[in-house]
Amino acid sequence: MDATENLNDFFWHLLFPSRLIIKSQEGLCALFGRYSKVRFAVITDIHGNGAALKAVLSDINQRNDVDHIYCLGDMIAIGPDTNEVLDMLFSRTDVSMITGNHDEAVLSLLKDEVYPRSHLHVYPHHDWIATRMDPIYVPKLESLPRVIQKTINNKSLLFTHYHMEKTKITKHISEDPFSEIKEPSLENLEKLFKNNKEHLICFGHHHPVHFFSNDKTIFLNPGSLGCYDKPIARYGIVTISNDKIDVKLRELVYDNNEFLRSYDELKVTDRQLILEIFHGNQPIG
């Protein structure tokens, strides 16, 4: 936040001391030719990495300028910190969550529903996760939507784990509702979301960062928060004010040694493969 922005906010707050009231009265803001600035964080694909999530939430708390957090699915699986991650998320009042394919596949086991054939290669791992998840989180995860749509300061926003055809949005996870992953490029994302008209589309699922835009839409995937080949946790900050959408990508260095050691200590199913594919066989200090 630069000095000009701070000065503007100072005088704005002198006129209207309660930011919360102003945020809820966009008509009043429009009367003065200005919408209230709204800033939110976008996190995705935590994948049971409690240390990475703790680092990101601490960073957000210290900023003291983030109004809300949108979590785009795959909170669990791959990493072993299922209950810790879910507790950190569900205990907050400023987090909106949607489900991802891993969350729903684990739920299908816990609810004795059809498990997706496309995920059979990770069935033993999902079973390991399911047997260790506190049952209190089953109804909480069940209650989450797959998609969130919002309008903020006249800008339309879509939050989804990944693209889904309209006819598949309500399909069970066993019917593979999420579209096939495409490599990150503006052309691929324009084709994938060709029927969407939102100004900002936020998603996850594919772990690399995606940040592309054309004259109509910004496509944002801040990268997996919990899976990376470096001890870095990634997330995004979006600021919407007047007619502008500003995106900042954040990378936080954190200590992941204890987290990586826990794979062996807990005898996580498929741990060697996971540490290689999702954490790059990082050296453990």
117, pLDDT greater than 90:
yes
pLDDT tens-digit map of 211-230: 999 999 999 999 999 999 99
pLDDT surpasses 80 at 264: yes
Beta strands in the chain (DSSP E): 38-43, 68-71, 95-97, 147-152, 155-160, 200-202, 210-213, 218-221, 232-241, 244-253
CA 154 – CA 53 distance, rounded (Å): 31
What is residue 246's three-state secondary structure? strand
Q: Is 27 a residue whose pLDDT tops 80?
A: no
Q: What's the pLDDT tens digit per position in 177-214?
A: 999 999 999 999 999 999 999 999 999 999 999 999 99
Q: Report pLDDT for 188.
A: 98
CB 113 within 8 A of CB 175: no
Q: Which tens digit of pLDDT belongs to each residue from 81-108?
A: 999 999 999 999 999 999 999 999 999 9
Instruction: For the chain, list the domains and their CATH numbers.
Output: 32-277 (3.60.21.10)
- As a whole-number percent, the residues of the chain with pLDDT over 70 amount to 88
Among the listed ranges 3-17, 28-42, 78-92, 178-192, which one has the minimum average pLDDT value? Answer: 3-17
The rounded distance, in Å, linking the Cα atoms of 280 and 278 is 6
- The predicted model gives 274-280 an average pLDDT of 98
Place of tokens 């009367």: 31
Report the Cα–Cα distance between both ends of the chain, in Å, rounded: 36
Q: Is the pLDDT of residue 30 over 50?
A: no
Contact 8, 16 (CB under 8 A): no
Decide if pLDDT at 5 tops 50.
no
Residue in this structure with the two tokens 């699915």, named with its chain if needed: 73
pLDDT at 282 over 90: yes
| pLDDT, average across residues 50-60 | 99
User: Whole-angstrom Cα distance, residue 52 to residue 252?
Assistant: 9
How many angstroms separate the CA atoms of 81 and 131, rounded?
A: 13
pLDDT at 171 over 60: yes
pLDDT band at 25 (very low <50, low <70, confident <90, very high): very low
Asked if 53 and 232 count as a contact pair (C-beta separation under 8 A), the reply is no
Tokens of 75: 């909170």
Total Cβ atoms within 10 A of residue 31:
9
